[in-house]
Amino acid sequence: MKIIIETPKYSFWKYCRTEKGYERAFFSPLPIIFNYGFIEGTESPDGMEEDVVVLGPRLPKGSTFEREDFDGMVKFLDDSVRDDKKLVYISGFCSPLLLAYYFRLYALFKVFLYAFRNGKITTCRFEGIVLRKLH
C-alpha cells in the first residue's frame, strides 16, 4: 500500500490534500504526536481515503512510502461515522497509552470543532487501539 503523509509529526495544523496541494484544514490545540496521512487508492466509510497514523521520525508533508501491511488500528468515530486509522510503526518510541490519551483529547476537540464550525452536536469517540504487531 502507498502511504502519503499529509500532516507531519509535531504540527499544530491538520492538512488535507486537494487539487491545489496541501491546504490547512484546522488548527489543533495540541501538536500531532505522529505523522498523519492516508493510503492512496482506498476509501473509508466517510468517503475519504483510509487514514493512517505513522509512528516514527518526523516525515515531510507530501512524502510517500510503500508498506505491505499495517501494525494495528486506532478505532475512532468521527462525526458519527466510522473513521478508523491504520497504525504503522517505523521506529522509535511507541506508547499505546500515550496514543489513547491523545485520541481521547482529539475526540473531545472534534466535538467542539463541529459545534463551533457547523453549529451541530455530533459523536466523536476514541474506541481503543488494536495492535497486530510491533517490530
Q: Tell me: the pLDDT tens digits for 37-53?
A: 999 999 999 888 999 99
pTM: 0.89
- E strand map for the chain: 2-7, 13-18, 21-27, 35-39, 51-55, 64-66, 72-78, 81-82, 85-89, 125-131
Asked whether the beta carbons of 48 and 96 are under 8 A apart, the reply is no
Q: Which domains does the chain have, with CATH numbers?
A: 2-131 (3.90.80.10)
Tens of each residue's pLDDT in the chain, 135 residues: 999 999 999 999 999 888 898 999 888 888 999 999 999 999 999 888 999 999 999 999 999 999 999 999 999 999 999 999 999 999 988 889 999 999 999 999 999 989 998 898 999 999 999 998 655
Could you give the 3-state DSSP secondary structure of residue 106? Answer: helix
